[in-house]
Structure 1
Amino acid sequence: MILRGIAQVDFQSSPWTGLVFLVALFAGGWQFGVFGLLGTVAATVTARLFGVSWSERVAPGLEGFCGTLIGVGLVLYLDVRWMTVLLVIFGAAAGSVLTSALNVLLKPYDLPAFTAPFCVVTTAVVIGGSAFSRVGVVPASAAAASGTELSWTHLWQGTLNGVGQVFFQDQWYVGLIFLAGLVIAGWRLGVVALVSSLAGLATGWVLGAQAADLAAGLYGYNSVLTGLALFGTFVVATPVSALYALLGVVAAAGFSAGIGALFAVVAGHTLTWPFVLVTWVFLAAVPMLSRIRRA
């Protein structure tokens, strides 16, 4: 159940995929593995305690993945300390309640909550953390200004980092482990993730993004989630839906810069907001599109 919660970050219910994802988190740093597990457990236990459906939600891991991201995100932005432990536990618990609330609100539109609870909780904690002396948000590093010339190294590392950045990881070998976890669930998933990450990177390059940001996967990870969601997971995979998904992938990458600039004003972060908003729009449009069908 816990491993499935980790795997559900990328819409997978395989515990083996979740195990590989967990290995990848520890490869990125012990703190990411520990706090990712802590967030997953806290969110899952909260859902179980309050009586969320076991068979439909808890057992498949659907109540754990936002907790995973809350744990990894908060330890990245707040560093390792006891206050971070408390914030991850209570943040994941609040994220579980918010997940239920959003599922109720979005049910008439047949839209999942996706990672919106994680985005809301993490944004609130990071932005509000500066007001509390015992929280202490880690200052954001200065943006790299390496120019827009894209090298082969930028290209292949950025493509793999786009897969890893779904979990806030920017080491290409960690992204490769995450990719292996997806391939375990199905080789087509690995292809979709790679193509989506590359398309997001290409979108950023065409628009003139900094090469260092492209190499770090910052324009790929929202595209990865969008591609996985719109091709085979929530939309039936067909040649036409492949084009539809590609449009969503490009939109998510382009939207990333706008969201990032917006939240930078209040010391926030892009997170997976572009994926959530773009995918909601694309799924909401499906009933009007006769050649696109929900899975």
Structure 2
Amino acid sequence: MTVRPISVKLVVQVLRGVAQVDFMPSAVCGLFFVAALFAAGWQYGLYGLLGSAVATAAGYGLRLRRDAVETGLTGYNGCLVALGCAVFLGPGHLATVVVAVLGAVVSVVVTAGLGALLEGRGLPALTAPFCLVATAVTVAAPGFRRLWPADAGPAALPVAASGGTGLGWDQFWRGFFANVGQVFFLPQWYVGLLFLAGLFAASRLAGLMACVGSATALLTARVFGAPAEAVEQGLLGYCGVLVALALCGVFVAPDGWSAAYAVLGAAAATVLTPALGAVTAPFGGHAFTWPFVLTTLLFLAAVPAIPRLRRI
């Protein structure tokens, strides 16, 4: 057998870490995702790769389960942490790089800790490690001048939704792709299109369920009168995409019943997103992927009690 150079193996594992943000242990999918990040801005591409690489290296350094490291399960939270630092704190500061690296390492420890707590209940950690680290960073950031610019001003208190609710066709299709891109905090429709292409390259079912989740989120937001601008930017629909992926094909066996269950979960996560945004408004209003985490964990916990559904 021909042994591939260790550098190639590590590159594959880092790419898998990026792809595992959407549950895909595929380096090809990771390539699409990295291309999408660079399409949004070269800094975002570098931060995403940095976070996954640091978290993967930390997984090896801490001697975590080798199969988990190799399939990217230690890298995806680090990828999100680093990318979140770039998006919410600004990518051009040395302090942001330092926090991104430290946060990526901490996310690995938190992932291991949550895994140990949830393993007995058969529940995954999902992106909860990222959410915990990112929430801590954004809450702490205003206390550090190198992280929070003096002219950024105080965070706002919750306010009622404003703006028109009429959703034109252009806003609808842009919002459809933006929902996929906002999983990585990026609102550009063409970035979401690249992410969706990566999902289809890894799994047609995953690509289809991402579409179902995005469409469900759009319709839910439209029915309840969400501001059209927020819908167009994908600010309400990204958790619906992740929930749909999780509940049909990733953690629950795919069939008609789980597809319907995924639609219900995606709608619930869409409603929960502005609620958590209001709760977190005093420190920036960043719901991150908490709506996805809470909805998915509750829906997965209910699966054993529902005879129509079967865990994978």
On whether the aligned pair clears a TM of 0.5, the verdict is: yes
Where does residue 253 of structure 1 map in the other structure?
270
Whether the 8 Å CA contact 1:145–1:212 is kept in 2: the answer is no
C-alpha offsets along residues 183-238 of structure 1, whole Å, 9 cap, x if unaligned?
A: 10122221211121111111111111100000001121100000000001100011
* TM-score normalised by structure 1 residue count: 0.96
Please report how far the alpha carbon of residue 264 of structure 1 lies from its aligned counterpart in structure 2 after TM superposition. Answer: 0.7
2:168 is equivalent to residue 157 of structure 1? no
Higher mean alpha-carbon deviation, 143-152 vs 93-102, is at: 143-152
2:92 is equivalent to residue 78 of structure 1? no
Higher mean alpha-carbon deviation, 141-150 vs 161-170, is at: 141-150
Whether the 8 Å CA contact 1:40–1:67 is kept in 2: the answer is yes
Amino acid at match of 2:75: G
Q: How does 1:1-295 map to 2 (within 5 A)?
A: 1-55=13-67, 57-79=68-90, 80-136=92-148, 145-295=162-312
Amino acid at match of 2:229: A
Please report how far the alpha carbon of residue 265 of structure 1 lies from its aligned counterpart in structure 2 after TM superposition. Answer: 2.3
Amino acid at match of 1:129: A
Amino-acid identity (%): 46
The alignment partner of 2:85 has SS state of helix
Whether the 8 Å CA contact 2:44–2:83 is kept in 1: the answer is yes
Amino acid at match of 1:172: W
Higher mean alpha-carbon deviation, 80-89 vs 134-143, is at: 134-143
User: Cα RMSD (Å) of the superposition?
Assistant: 1.6
Whether the 8 Å CA contact 2:180–2:192 is kept in 1: the answer is yes
Amino acid at match of 2:69: V
Give 5+ residue unaligned stretches, structure 1: none
Whether the 8 Å CA contact 2:182–2:192 is kept in 1: the answer is yes
Whether the 8 Å CA contact 2:205–2:249 is kept in 1: the answer is no
Whether the 8 Å CA contact 1:286–1:292 is kept in 2: the answer is yes
* TM-score normalised by structure 2 residue count: 0.91
Amino acid at match of 1:200: A
Q: Could you list the structure 1 runs, at least 4 aligned residues long, displaced by more than 2 angstroms after superposition.
A: 137-146, 265-268
Please report how far the alpha carbon of residue 143 of structure 1 lies from its aligned counterpart in structure 2 after TM superposition. Answer: 10
C-alpha offsets along residues 151-193 of structure 1, whole Å, 9 cap, x if unaligned?
A: 0011100000001100111111111011110010122221211
Whether the 8 Å CA contact 1:144–1:213 is kept in 2: the answer is no
Whether the 8 Å CA contact 2:51–2:78 is kept in 1: the answer is yes
